[in-house]
Structure 1
């Protein structure tokens, strides 16, 4: 279930919840405190089969050339955050790690 997104509706519909779930629960997803590794759409064949070439082209075409998948530890819940950018290399990794921790703390405050 997608709770919140800054991806346009069409991107979610075209990419599909199956692929989004696969990205969220894939091999590149990291727990808090671990340096994240991006999925770069142009390197899809080298991404260990995480996505197909067609899916990579679709992500890139829709403005998600680089995608980070972060696990959010919130009690017993399994939550994930995906951060993406239209240009590979444009996301600040240390800031991303801080954002991940802030998300965990903020979500932990919700009763």
Structure 2
């Protein structure tokens, strides 16, 4: 009888604790997903660099200009981009999703 009484008395506390742990795990997964995003430079031919950085360079613009300067993609486990050319990304009609892009005028 003591066990049943104890469970009844503390059931709400247990449920609240489980809810807190459950909801905080969603935040952890969200942070983990965003950790793989990298900015990759794109040359004038549309080739995407194999090396990326965690933040964009200052020479690119938010304004959608003719040339893609950098693109933010989720990197592969080895740190390389999932596409080698801008045409492979959804930005230019391909299948590889992108998070964001920066642009520049033609040189």
* Coarse TM-score class (shorter-chain normalised): under 0.3
| TM-score under structure 1 length normalisation | 0.23
Higher fraction of helix = 1
| TM-score under structure 2 length normalisation | 0.23
